[in-house]
A = this chain, B = another copy of it.
Amino acid sequence: MFEWLRSLRKKVGKLVLPDREERSARNKNKINLKPYTPEPKAYLGQLAYLLLSNFEILTNELKYAPTTQYKAELSEAAAKSFEKYRTVSKKLSGLGVDVTDSMDPFTERIDTFHSRTSGVDWYEAIIKVYLVSGLLDDFYKRLAVGLNSELRDSVEKALSDKTFEKFAQKVITEGKAMNPELDSRLALWGRRLMGDVLLEVRAAFDNRKLAGIDKSASLSAEQERKVNLESYSKIEPLISEMIAAHSLRMDSIGLAA
Q: Which positions in A face B, CB cutoff 8 Å?
A: 49, 52, 55-56, 59-60, 62-63, 67-69, 71-72, 75-76, 78-79, 82-83, 85-86, 89, 99-100, 103-104, 107
**A82 and B85 contacting across the interface, CB-CB below 8 Å:** no
Quote the shortest CB–CB distance from A99 to chain B (angstroms): 6
Q: How many copies does the complex hold?
A: 2
Per the bound structure, the CA–CA distance linking A19 and B117 in Å amounts to 66
Contact of A75 among B52, B71, B107 (CB under 8 A): B52
A-B contact pairs, 20 of them (CB 8 A): A49-B68, A52-B72, A55-B62, A56-B59, A56-B62, A59-B59, A59-B60, A59-B78, A60-B60, A67-B100, A68-B100, A68-B103, A69-B100, A72-B85, A72-B99, A72-B103, A76-B82, A78-B82, A79-B82, A79-B86
Residues of B within 8 Å of A79, CB to CB, are: 55, 79, 82-83, 86
Quote the shortest CB–CB distance from A138 to chain B (angstroms): 23
Given contacts A67-B100, A68-B49, A68-B103, are A56 and B75 in contact (CB under 8 A)? yes
Per the bound structure, the CA–CA distance linking A52 and B67 in Å amounts to 13
